[in-house]
Structure 1
Amino acid sequence: MLNQLPILSSLQHLVHRFYMYMTVDNSIGRRAIQWKPEPHLQRNIDLYKTQHEQFAALLHQKNEQGLVQFWLDMALNNSPEKYNWEPENRIQKAWEHLSLYCEESCYRAASQVWKANQYKCWEEYIFFARCLVYNPLKFREILAKYDANVSPLYAYIIEVLRKTIKDEGAVAKFSKWRLLCKKSNKELKEALIRYGICEPEVSRFLFARTYFKQVYQFNKIQNPATRNGQRWLEPDSNDFQETAQYYNTEKLLAIAPHQVAVGKNVTGEQLQGWMETCITALRNYPQSIAPSISLEVMDGVSYTIESDEGFYLEIEDSPPEQKSLYQQTETVLQHELLALNEDQKEILYLYYGLGWNQKQIAAKFAVTQGAIARRLQTIERRLINAVYSLKQPPQWVTGYVKTWLNYNYETPDYSDLIHAALVTSVKQLNTQSQDLLRLCYGQKLDTNAISKQLHLPPDRVNELLLQTNCELEIALLKEIDIIIRKFLNFWLNKQYKDIKTHNLNSQFQHLVLA
């Protein structure tokens, strides 16, 4: 438990209070509170600074209460009248500006409570306060009772938070273990990334948290010996040891993420450290800002095509070489379509453009359904071979697999289709092959160390590693084939639906002209 409250540095400008939040920095060997900007709120402030005369005047006058009232009027009363240049979600942004303005009040209120009662860590009291400020319903209730004629907003918020966290903290309503158990995987993942945790640790922390919740729920929450007022008790070493045992057993199952499966076994002490890191990351993560971050990341991609199977192909935001490859693929496939005979073209149009099934098409051509299936397979194989001719996977797969194993095995990039295909391919290998890869490329053991663990001669280990690499290359080629099939299915659907739309438009224009 810490016995020293870090000093909160002052912000340089008044306007910073409306788009900056507190975070705890551990990089200098001691904990310090720093201010960090929330980019989308900073951009919103800049927008109003340049477009709204009243807002700009309040900034120039350094009128803090005026700025507070500006966002209060917008949040509570949707006033003044909206201009065309203002964002559609201006009310939501107004609430977020007010929440960040209250960050310093959270610190002041927590400081007062902590100095009077240091039973809990000062961070925990700050977290109590943030739970109120970043909860939309509770924050609205607090602000609805605010009277600007009685006191400034920051003083009012400090007093409300001080009273509330003193009472709520006493019954552990906002226990750090409750926080860890209640947050979703999505929220925890975003919090860890923002806190500076990277893969493969993020996946391992999330996987460990799953089993910690189960153990903690059974041993502490549902334990008949636990009194109602002590529901969120501190876990003990046995809880973490039991969780570690589950983690080490379950990480070998197919359901385990790749980053977990390739890692070492963990101890109870290590797992306890992971859970403490998760708690710290969640406390440093402003809850109301979480959705905005996700949306901003999504807005960074200009255009994404998604098929029904969930296959993605990014176009507009891709690097020049990827755009060039897509254009080459488009050209090659168009050439292949033109080279088909008339029956093949009609079958594709009926199947992908009009949505006929194979039985309907077979009836039209007076053949069996199996014959139509074989014709479609022949066309598909021809198109796949055309795509293969561009990059020639059999020629580069061997080198790619070798590089991936050495540099990306523990931390594959799932946005890269080949990386994702390799992860899938690894899971298709037998248990011994997966063990070899985990020991060699995950734990970086040499041949002799692997030999001792698997009780095999060193020569046999090297032989099996070569064999496993070959198996992985074959599995990857099969996965690439599946990827291309999915892409072709998407591309053909789009191609022939465009043709269908064009034909319907032409018929409509002909009808109008007639």
Structure 2
Amino acid sequence: MLNRLPILSSLKHLVHRFYMYMTVDNSISTRAIQWKPELHLQRNIDLYKTQHDQFAALLNQQSEQGLVQFWLDMALSNLPSKYNWEPENRTQKAWEHLSLYCEESCYRAASQVWKEKQSKCWEEYIFSARCLIYDPVKFPKILAKYDPSISPLYAYITEVLRKTIKDEAALAKFSQWRLLCKKSNKELKEALIRYGIREPEVSRFLFARKYFKQVYQFNKIQNPETRSGRRWIEPDSNDFQESQLYYNAEKLLAIAPHQVAVGKDVTGEQLQRWMETCITALRNYPQSIVPSISLEVMGAVSYTIESDGGFHLEIEDSPPEQERLCQQMEAVLQHELLALNEEQKEILYLYYGLGWNQKQIAAKFAVTQGAIARRLQTIERRLINGVYSLKQPSQWVTGYVTRWLKYSYETPDYSDLIHAALVTAVKLLKTQSQNLLRLHYAEKLDINTISNQLDLPVDIVNELLYQTNYELETALLKELDIMIKKVLSIWLNKQYKHLEKCNFKLHFKDLILT
């Protein structure tokens, strides 16, 4: 919380006002407002600087009102006429540039109200102002009423915001606890990441917020005895204590994220600090200028089937060895297909290419359906063994599990399929085994300390750890089998659908020629 007004650092150049937003710098003893660039808007400015003569001239002249009017014309009237090089969403970007230009007005307006009435935290005032300039409905209406002949835009917006903040403060519309309760998990996650919070803390903060909301709404929002005429009143220590009881009781359930399950129990004071951090992160988070899917949050792995019929594993920023492995996998599968006998090839073609079921194939070969099922399984196992030969799971799984427990147990990478499989495997372990892993690999306790804490002999603890590792290795091998079967099924379907399509084209061509 801020109990005094932070200093606003000045921007070096006028153009910065159109692509930079404010954030509170907590790294120094005297808290100050710092500026951070919104990179996609900075790139947009650079584009117009190099491609648009009028815009470049306004920049050279340092014409603040001219630049403001340039974006206003584009946002309100879609003027001037669009060039081919301009982005398709240029109007939306114009609104975003104007919102950022008004960031300093938020500070000025909030400062004026706070100096008149310091009974509320300054952060509440500035957040109320920012809500308005990032509102996609209200902000355009405010700008539509602006008359440039009367005053500069920054003065007009500052006055509008000042009145808005005073009205909302008088009616008690704004509350930091309302902000915390109303924001979605996606918004809070994005805000925490931008604020510098990383896993496993992000998952723990989200999980804690879930139980705090339940307790706070029951004890304060829905309880007429505690509302006292205000809807979003301050929570008390009992609310945080009750929230931490729910958090600790349910963190080992299947619904709890892995990062939560492997963490320590929390105290009421710690949970309160987490919620205050969430509030600060949300207040520092620009709302309308964020990508609909943040690149910081998106997973890095996706599967696609290319039109040429081949299966490819796409890994964002994947190292060369992973790309080579994908290429090797497809080469091995193609080799194994060519090595099949004619009957096996025909069965695959009928099953994956023409979509026949096992009963239809059995009738063609005059055998039982069970015989066809076994032949398909034999072919499938041969292809799977070919893929396994690239990495030899039986040889690398033990070492992989050991390294994962040591370095990635608390913060698994869910975009890595093997990490995700191990997280699933951990949740299937007995409670005692999960607790043992948490103490050793999350809390970093040595064997002797665990022995004393669990009141078990050291050799028993070692044996339990060894057995748990073995269970994870076994589960991972099973999960690898499942994943490879899924991948193989997709690949075979594509291969034979592509072959059937080619055969149809050749047959159709023959009909035309004859």
TM-score bucket of the superposed structures, by smaller chain: over 0.9
2:92 is the counterpart of 1:92: yes
Q: Tell me how far 1:122 sits from its aligned partner.
A: 0.9
Task: Provide the C-alpha distance between the structure 2 equivalents of 1:418 and 1:316, rounded to a whole number of angstroms.
Answer: 16
Please say if residues 171 and 229 of structure 1, whose CA atoms lie closer than 8 Å, have aligned partners that are also in contact.
no
Q: TM-score, normalised by structure 2?
A: 0.94
Task: Provide the C-alpha distance between the structure 2 equivalents of 1:346 and 1:10, rounded to a whole number of angstroms.
Answer: 74
Task: Provide the C-alpha distance between the structure 2 equivalents of 1:90 and 1:134, rounded to a whole number of angstroms.
Answer: 17
Pairs within 5 Å for 1:10-89 = 10-89=10-89
1:207 is matched with which residue? 207
1:420 is matched with which residue? 420
Distance 1:452 1:80, change over 3 A: same
Task: Provide the C-alpha distance between the structure 2 equivalents of 1:138 and 1:153, rounded to a whole number of angstroms.
Answer: 16
Q: Tell me how far 1:413 sits from its aligned partner.
A: 1.3
Deviations along 1:397-432, whole A, 9 cap, x unmatched? 111111111111111111222211111111121111
Please say if residues 133 and 139 of structure 2, whose CA atoms lie closer than 8 Å, have aligned partners that are also in contact.
yes
Task: Provide the C-alpha distance between the structure 2 equivalents of 1:502 and 1:48, rounded to a whole number of angstroms.
Answer: 48
Task: Provide the C-alpha distance between the structure 1 equivalents of 2:165 and 2:339, rounded to a whole number of angstroms.
Answer: 74
Please say if residues 190 and 297 of structure 2, whose CA atoms lie closer than 8 Å, have aligned partners that are also in contact.
no
1:125 is matched with which residue? 125
Q: Tell me how far 1:202 sits from its aligned partner.
A: 0.5
2:437 is the counterpart of 1:432: no
Can you give the 5+ residue segments of structure 2 that lack an aligned partner in the other structure?
none
Please say if residues 312 and 326 of structure 2, whose CA atoms lie closer than 8 Å, have aligned partners that are also in contact.
no
1:166 is matched with which residue? 166
Pairs within 5 Å for 1:144-293 = 144-227=144-227, 229-291=229-291
Alpha carbon RMSD of aligned pairs, Å?
A: 2.2
The answer to which of 374-383 and 251-260 deviates more is: 374-383
Deviations along 1:455-501, whole A, 9 cap, x unmatched? 21122111111111111111111111122112112222222222233
Distance 1:431 1:97, change over 3 A: same
Task: Provide the C-alpha distance between the structure 2 equivalents of 1:415 and 1:145, rounded to a whole number of angstroms.
Answer: 48
Please say if residues 171 and 230 of structure 1, whose CA atoms lie closer than 8 Å, have aligned partners that are also in contact.
no
Q: Tell me how far 1:351 sits from its aligned partner.
A: 2.6
Distance 1:20 1:344, change over 3 A: same
Deviations along 1:81-103, whole A, 9 cap, x unmatched? 21111111111111111111111
Deviations along 1:163-207, whole A, 9 cap, x unmatched? 011111233322111111111111111111111101110110011
Please say if residues 302 and 317 of structure 1, whose CA atoms lie closer than 8 Å, have aligned partners that are also in contact.
no
Q: Residue type matched to 1:206 in 2?
A: L
- Paired residues in the alignment total 510
Q: Tell me how far 1:146 sits from its aligned partner.
A: 1.2
Seq. identity, %: 81
The answer to which of 140-149 and 35-44 deviates more is: 140-149
The answer to which of 18-27 and 140-149 deviates more is: 140-149
Deviations along 1:110-135, whole A, 9 cap, x unmatched? 11111111111111111000111111
Can you give the 5+ residue segments of structure 1 that lack an aligned partner in the other structure?
none
2:454 is matched with which residue? 454
2:330 is the counterpart of 1:326: no
The answer to which of 237-246 and 54-63 deviates more is: 54-63
Deviations along 1:297-328, whole A, 9 cap, x unmatched? 76x97985279xxx993157422111111111
Task: Provide the C-alpha distance between the structure 2 equivalents of 1:57 and 1:446, rounded to a whole number of angstroms.
Answer: 67
Q: Tell me how far 1:47 sits from its aligned partner.
A: 0.7
Q: Residue type matched to 1:390 in 2?
A: L
2:304 is matched with which residue? 305
Q: Residue type matched to 1:287 in 2?
A: Q
Please say if residues 187 and 290 of structure 1, whose CA atoms lie closer than 8 Å, have aligned partners that are also in contact.
no
1:479 is matched with which residue? 479
Q: Tell me how far 1:385 sits from its aligned partner.
A: 0.5
Q: Residue type matched to 1:333 in 2?
A: L
The answer to which of 181-190 and 365-374 deviates more is: 365-374
Distance 1:116 1:366, change over 3 A: farther
Distance 1:425 1:159, change over 3 A: same
Please say if residues 21 and 36 of structure 1, whose CA atoms lie closer than 8 Å, have aligned partners that are also in contact.
yes
Task: Provide the C-alpha distance between the structure 2 equivalents of 1:296 and 1:81, rounded to a whole number of angstroms.
Answer: 35
Deviations along 1:207-258, whole A, 9 cap, x unmatched? 1111111111111111122448411111110000000000000001011111
1:470 is matched with which residue? 470
Please say if residues 19 and 42 of structure 2, whose CA atoms lie closer than 8 Å, have aligned partners that are also in contact.
yes
1:326 partner SS: helix
Please say if residues 195 and 281 of structure 2, whose CA atoms lie closer than 8 Å, have aligned partners that are also in contact.
yes
Please say if residues 303 and 317 of structure 1, whose CA atoms lie closer than 8 Å, have aligned partners that are also in contact.
no
Distance 1:290 1:356, change over 3 A: farther
Please say if residues 40 and 292 of structure 1, whose CA atoms lie closer than 8 Å, have aligned partners that are also in contact.
no
The answer to which of 373-382 and 59-68 deviates more is: 373-382
Please say if residues 207 and 260 of structure 2, whose CA atoms lie closer than 8 Å, have aligned partners that are also in contact.
yes
1:22 partner SS: strand
Please say if residues 65 and 152 of structure 2, whose CA atoms lie closer than 8 Å, have aligned partners that are also in contact.
yes
Distance 1:203 1:466, change over 3 A: same
